[in-house]
Amino acid sequence: MKDYSNFSDKELIFLIKNKDDCALEHLMDRYTSLLMKIAIYYLKHEEDAEEIVADFFIKIWEKNAALTIESTFKPYACISVKNSCINLLKAKSLQHNLRNFNDASNFEVVSEAQSDDLIIFEELRNDLMEFINHLPEKRKVILKLAKFENLSLDEIGEMLDLSPKTVANQIALALKDIKQFLILSKD
């Protein structure tokens, strides 16, 4: 087997596009451990995590000629696996909700005041999410990983090839922007 240890991720992707299965194996060896940690973090179930990571690499192989990765491979892989985990959790939640749909005891009557509060809250949440989506790309990704996915500075730094200090600075800047947005939205 050819030694791919000195090949960059970009070079390995190029070889995979040209149907080099050994390049795929090396890429798998390089990233499976990290991707498994991410999948287990979200799913809390090793077998589901293994399936998600295996599916990710199968898709890489199947897409080989059409594969385009805009960023570097590591963040692309981490975010793809994270999104697959979230999709699986949503699907499982939907299945659970459908099973409980016929149970009338799960339904509560919401008072008019609660309903109004929910509408106001939902509008504010939508405005805030729209604001966050207009932050600079790196800042937006870091903020979402930290605040919505509850990842640590070290985990985010590892995923995005950044130092924990850079991650902390980006979070601080994002929170400062959000605070300013909330102050201005009160007016």
Q: Could you report the per-residue pLDDT of 3-24, keeping only the tens digit for each?
A: 888 888 888 888 888 888 898 8
The C-alpha atoms of residue 44 and residue 112 are separated, in whole angstroms, by 38
Which residues of the chain carry a pLDDT beneath 50? 101-107, 109-110
Q: What is the pLDDT of residue 3?
A: 80
Q: What is the pLDDT of residue 115?
A: 59
* Distance spanning both ends of the chain, measured CA to CA: 66
Q: Token pair of 8, please?
A: 């960059």
Q: Which CATH architecture has domain 111-187?
A: Orthogonal Bundle (1.10)
The C-alpha atoms of residue 106 and residue 100 are separated, in whole angstroms, by 8
- The ranges of the chain annotated as CATH 1.10.1740.10 are 1-107
Question: What is the pTM for the complete model shown?
Answer: 0.54
CATH 1.10.1740.10 applies to domain 1-107: yes
Evaluate whether 53 touches 39 at the Cβ level (below 8 Å). Answer: yes
- The ranges of the chain annotated as CATH 1.10.10.10 are 111-187
The C-alpha atoms of residue 86 and residue 95 are separated, in whole angstroms, by 14
